[in-house]
Amino acid sequence: MNKQSQQDSLQQMQRQAKSMARMRKRSNYSPLMGLGAFGVIGWSVTLPSVAGAFVGMWLERVAPQRFSWPLALLLAGLVFGLLMAFVWLQQQQKQTLEQNENAGGQVND
């Protein structure tokens, strides 16, 4: 590691530490917020996937095709759920960055 990359790493760690300290000082901060994020992401992927599989099973009985409706709609639900989770994470990251900027901190992407 050269000197410049060590300084960059040190500065990044300092910014992260300041950001964590600001989060702890917030009155509505809870360490369980991270677990809540896992729950939101999990359900946003699980529900569309399971719904796709059930709709696929129904379509298998109503309109049979050469391909598997449950598998096709399960994958479609999975893709949709992953996109929803990605969008939610982007929104949360944007909110966090805005809050940090309003608090006077600097945070890298």
- Does some domain include residue 5? no
The yes-or-no verdict on residue 109 having pLDDT over 50 is no
The yes-or-no verdict on residue 59 having pLDDT over 90 is yes
Q: What is the mean pLDDT of residues 2-25?
A: 79
Q: What is the mean pLDDT of residues 50-76?
A: 95
- Tens of pLDDT, residue by residue over 76-90, are 999 999 999 999 989
State the pLDDT at residue 11: 84
Per-chain mean pLDDT for the chain:
83
Domain count for the chain: 1
Share of the chain above pLDDT 90, in %: 40
- Does some domain include residue 95? yes
Predicted model pTM: 0.63
- Does some domain include residue 68? yes
Q: What is the mean pLDDT of residues 25-52?
A: 80
| Domain interval for residue 66 | 32-102
CB neighbour class for 17 (10 Å; exposed up to 12, middle 13-18, buried from 19): exposed
- Does some domain include residue 97? yes
State the pLDDT at residue 27: 60
